[in-house]
Amino acid sequence: MVDSPRGTTTRFRLQLSYDGSEFHGWAKQRGLRTVEDELGSVVDHLVAEHVDLTCAGRTDAGVHARGQVVHFDAERVDRLTLDHLNGALPHDIRARQLDVVPPEFDARFSAQWRRYSYTVSDDPRGPDPLMRRYQLALSDELDIDAMNEASRSLVGEHDFSSYCKVKEHGTSVREVLELKWDRLVSADSGLRTAIMHVKADAFCRSMVRSLAGALIPVGQGRKNREYPAQALEKRSRDAGIAVMPAHALVLEEVGYPAADQWEQRQWRTRSVRSGHQWNEKSNDASNLGP
Amino acid sequence: MVDSPRGTTTRFRLQLSYDGSEFHGWAKQRGLRTVEDELGSVVDHLVAEHVDLTCAGRTDAGVHARGQVVHFDAERVDRLTLDHLNGALPHDIRARQLDVVPPEFDARFSAQWRRYSYTVSDDPRGPDPLMRRYQLALSDELDIDAMNEASRSLVGEHDFSSYCKVKEHGTSVREVLELKWDRLVSADSGLRTAIMHVKADAFCRSMVRSLAGALIPVGQGRKNREYPAQALEKRSRDAGIAVMPAHALVLEEVGYPAADQWEQRQWRTRSVRSGHQWNEKSNDASNLGP
State the complex-level ipTM.
Answer: 0.75
Clarify whether B143 is annotated catalytic: no
Selecting from A64, A134, A188 the residue whose C-beta is nearest the C-beta of B66 gives A188
Q: Inter-chain contact A82–B124, Cβ cutoff 8 Å?
A: yes
The alpha carbons of chain A give a radius of gyration, in whole angstroms, of 20
Q: What is the C-alpha to C-alpha distance for residues B174 and B179, in angstroms, rounded to an integer?
A: 13
Residue A31 neighbours by CB under 8 Å, 6+ apart: none
Q: What is the C-alpha to C-alpha distance for residues A102 and A89, in angstroms, rounded to an integer?
A: 25
Q: Which of A130, A131, A247 to mutate to test the interface with B (most CBs of B within 10 A)?
A: A130
| Every domain of chain B and the residues it spans | 10-110, 113-252
Q: What percent of chain A has pLDDT over 90?
A: 77
Which pLDDT does position A6 carry in this prediction?
A: 55
What angle, rounded to 10 degrees, do the helices at A207-219 and A144-152 form?
Answer: 130
Amino acid (1-letter code) at residue A106: D
Q: Inter-chain contact A127–B94, Cβ cutoff 8 Å?
A: yes
Same fold, B10-110 and B113-252: yes
Give the CATH fold of the B113-252 domain. Alpha-Beta Plaits (3.30.70)
B149 CB within 8 Å of a chain A CB? no
Q: Inter-chain contact A94–B134, Cβ cutoff 8 Å?
A: no
pTM exceeds 0.90 for this model: no
Q: What is the C-alpha to C-alpha distance for residues B185 and B193, in angstroms, rounded to an integer?
A: 6
Cα dihedral sign for B65, B66, B67, B69?
positive
Residue of B118, B99, B130 whose CA lies nearest to B256: B99
- Intra-chain end-to-end CA distance of chain B, in Å: 28
Residue A233 neighbours by CB under 8 Å, 6+ apart: A162
How many residue pairs bridge chain A and chain B with CB atoms within 8 Å of each other? 84
Separation in Å, CA of B123 to nearest CA in chain A:
10
pLDDT per position in chain B (290 positions), as tens? Answer: 444 445 689 999 999 999 999 999 999 999 999 999 999 999 999 999 999 999 999 999 999 999 999 999 999 999 999 999 999 999 999 999 999 999 999 999 999 999 999 999 999 888 999 999 999 999 889 999 999 999 999 999 999 999 997 666 778 999 999 999 999 998 777 889 999 999 999 999 999 999 999 999 999 999 999 999 999 999 987 778 999 999 999 999 999 998 888 888 877 777 766 654 443 333 333 233 32
Would you list the DSSP string of A78-98? TT--HHHHHHHS-TTEEEEEE
Task: Tell me the per-residue pLDDT of B172-198, one tens digit each, with 9 for 90 and over.
Answer: 999 999 999 999 998 777 889 999 999
Which pLDDT does position A276 carry in this prediction?
A: 46
Residue of B178, B161, B163, B153 whose CA lies nearest to B212: B163
Selecting from B83, B96, B125 the residue whose C-beta is nearest the C-beta of A190 gives B96
Separation in Å, CA of B193 to nearest CA in chain A:
15
B91 CB within 8 Å of a chain A CB? yes
Chain B residues with beta carbon closer than 8 angstroms to that of A254: none
Task: Tell me the per-residue pLDDT of A229-251, one tens digit each, with 9 for 90 and over.
Answer: 999 999 987 778 999 999 999 99
Residue of B58, B52, B48, B56 whose CA lies nearest to B39: B52
Task: Tell me the per-residue pLDDT of A106-119, one tens digit each, with 9 for 90 and over.
Answer: 999 999 999 999 99
Q: Inter-chain contact A94–B250, Cβ cutoff 8 Å?
A: no
CATH of segment(s) A113-251: 3.30.70.660
Selecting from A125, A133, A189 the residue whose C-beta is nearest the C-beta of B95 gives A125
Chain B residues with beta carbon closer than 8 angstroms to that of A129: 17-19, 64, 91-94
Which pLDDT does position A228 carry in this prediction?
A: 96
A270 CB within 8 Å of a chain B CB? no
pLDDT average, residue stretch A3-21 = 84
**Closest residue, chain B, to A189 (C-alpha):** B66
The alpha carbons of chain B give a radius of gyration, in whole angstroms, of 20
Residue of B105, B125, B118 whose CA lies nearest to B263: B105
Helix ranges, B101-172 (H)? 144-152
Selecting from B64, B127, B189 the residue whose C-beta is nearest the C-beta of A130 gives B64
Give the CATH fold of the A10-110 domain. Alpha-Beta Plaits (3.30.70)
Q: What is the C-alpha to C-alpha distance for residues B226 and B285, in angstroms, rounded to an integer?
A: 34
Give yes or no for residue A3 having a pLDDT over 70.
no
A70 CB within 8 Å of a chain B CB? no
Which pLDDT does position A167 carry in this prediction?
A: 67
B83 CB within 8 Å of a chain A CB? yes
B192 and B183 in contact (C-beta within 8 Å)? Answer: yes
Selecting from A17, A82, A132 the residue whose C-beta is nearest the C-beta of B91 gives A132
pLDDT level of residue A272 (50, 70, 90 thresholds): low
